[in-house]
Structure 1
Amino acid sequence: MKLRKRYVPDLQEMAALCEGNYLRLMKLVPAEESERTFVLSGSSHEARVRLVVDEDHRYTTMLSVYQEGLSPQWLQPLSMQVRLYHDAMMAEVLGYQNQQRFEGRYAYPNSAMRLPDEKVQLNRFLAEWLDHCIRHGRIEATVALPGQFAEE
């Protein structure tokens, strides 16, 4: 019987993904905005990716990412919760489809049927999603943060 190698997280890959996601998000959602929607058009369909600032603090920001439009009624639309760490210039996926707290490694098989590298895959998926918005999305709407641009 051949023993399977135990999964060992690649911390350099994870750090690179988180740093890249931070830069992508800073490009897509400027600091003075609390929400931005990108329209992604295909030949026969149109989807929207909505980025919403849920909490904004000095060193961290919580952001929700939603995909709207492509999913049939019976399928839950894609959503992620992402925390941006401004001091470290990193962004990490903390939640996906109403599931929270992803470990860096899972034994496989497990009761939740998560893959050994689930956390890396979620951050990689976010990177691909954001790259697609940068390359193919057009801005639909912008919303200023409360108190921004107030006349003095």
Structure 2
Amino acid sequence: MTALLTTNRYIQSLPKYLTLCEHNYVRLLKLLPRERAIGSVREIKLGHSEFAINIDDNAKYTLDVSIKQLSGMVRGISPLYLTVRLYNDAKVAEIVHHDYHQRIKPSYGYPNPKMHQKDEKYQLNAFLYDWLVACVERGQSTLNWDVNNGLV
């Protein structure tokens, strides 16, 4: 008797994914450096950890930012590193790289050699959503007051 192995391919819910990316876009805009020039950085403290949001590339319709953990690392766990692309025309933001990996596929067959989850891309963007909510609600950042324009 032979057993047939059937694989149910993961099909992502596009409306659910786009809603998540829209929420990420709105929250990430609140955390970006005021100046959107390449190389601009904003540091955020969340609990005992510090993070830097760096503008890597600024094009007409897209903005690439990297989020890097600067302090508060846990031994045995690599520090957070994400590259997020903001699509200004569509008003969505999604992770395009994480932990220095080249590319995240929309879905993975399971099992796979690197043990990615079927919905790895959605899970990473859901993590980004949770992280952004925590930063917006509980994070601390240095305010860059412009004394010359009368703000202080």
TM-score range normalised by the length of the shorter chain: 0.7 to 0.9
Q: Is the CA contact 1:22–1:91 (under 8 Å) kept in the aligned structure 2?
A: yes
Check 1:52–1:141 CA distance in 2 against 1; reply closer, same or farther (3 A cut).
farther
Q: Is the CA contact 2:57–2:64 (under 8 Å) kept in the aligned structure 1?
A: yes
CA deviations 1:115-143 (Å, max 9, x no partner) are 0000000111111111110011110365x
User: Do residues 92 (structure 1) and 94 (structure 2) align?
Assistant: yes
State the AA in 1 paired with 2:14: L
Q: Give the counterpart of 2:134 among 128, 132, 135.
A: 132
Q: CA deviation at 1:3?
A: 5.8
| TM-score, normalised relative to structure 1 | 0.82
Q: Is the CA contact 2:33–2:42 (under 8 Å) kept in the aligned structure 1?
A: no
State the AA in 1 paired with 2:60: R
Unaligned runs of 5+ in 2: 145-152
Paired residue secondary structure (2:142): strand
Q: Give the counterpart of 1:110 among 109, 112, 120.
A: 112
Counterparts of 2:108 and 2:92, CA distance in 1: 23
User: Do residues 38 (structure 1) and 9 (structure 2) align?
Assistant: no
> 1:149: which partner in 2?
none
Q: Is the CA contact 1:39–1:140 (under 8 Å) kept in the aligned structure 2?
A: no
> 2:148: which partner in 1?
none
> 1:150: which partner in 2?
none
Counterparts of 1:141 and 1:81, CA distance in 2: 24
Q: Is the CA contact 1:37–1:141 (under 8 Å) kept in the aligned structure 2?
A: no
Q: Is the CA contact 1:17–1:124 (under 8 Å) kept in the aligned structure 2?
A: yes
Counterparts of 1:107 and 1:28, CA distance in 2: 35
User: Do residues 11 (structure 1) and 14 (structure 2) align?
Assistant: yes
Aligned-residue Cα RMSD (Å) equals 2.2
- Looking at CA atoms only, which structure, 1 or 2, has the larger radius of gyration? 2
Paired residue secondary structure (1:100): coil
| TM-score, normalised relative to structure 2 | 0.82
Identity %: 37
Counterparts of 1:105 and 1:53, CA distance in 2: 28
Aligned length: 139
Unaligned runs of 5+ in 1: 143-152
Paired residue secondary structure (1:82): strand
Paired residue secondary structure (2:124): helix
> 2:149: which partner in 1?
none
Paired residue secondary structure (1:104): coil
Check 1:31–1:86 CA distance in 2 against 1; reply closer, same or farther (3 A cut).
farther
